[in-house]
Homo-oligomer: A and B are copies of this chain.
């Protein structure tokens, strides 16, 4: 059924924007300020993804390792990353994703510092 989507994507992706506000007008998990890397693995093999997080004024942190099962999507919240270290709030960062099989990466922020929801999204930069 889905074989037409097999191996769509690239192995290296970069998101130059990154910023998780520490404040949220809501306590509901769905509405807490967060950034997400939406990862699609449309193929039939597990995707082993290594994420490196870059900062303005110190060495990068990583790799964070996640596995995306075949034919699955993982909407990974940067807020939830813990190992090797949590992503600091109110801090500029960027990220690079390297996968052993083709994936697709899209970046999203929900910002609820103020009383309403604000959203941004963009396809990440793909290479190779």
Contact = CB atoms under 8 A, between A and B. Distances in A.
Interface of A: 1-2, 4-5, 8-9, 12, 14-19, 21, 30-31, 36, 38-40, 42, 50, 52, 54-57, 59-60, 62-63, 71-75, 90, 92-94, 96, 98, 104-109, 111, 113-127
**Does more than half of chain A's interface fall in helix, strand or loop, or is it mixed?**
strand
Given A4-B52, A121-B121, 19 more contacts: A1-B62, A4-B12, A4-B63, A4-B96, A8-B12, A8-B96, A8-B127, A9-B125, A15-B106, A31-B113, A55-B72, A73-B93, A108-B120, A109-B119, A114-B116, A114-B117, A115-B116, A122-B123, A125-B126
Given A62-B2, A73-B16, A75-B17, A40 B94 contact: yes
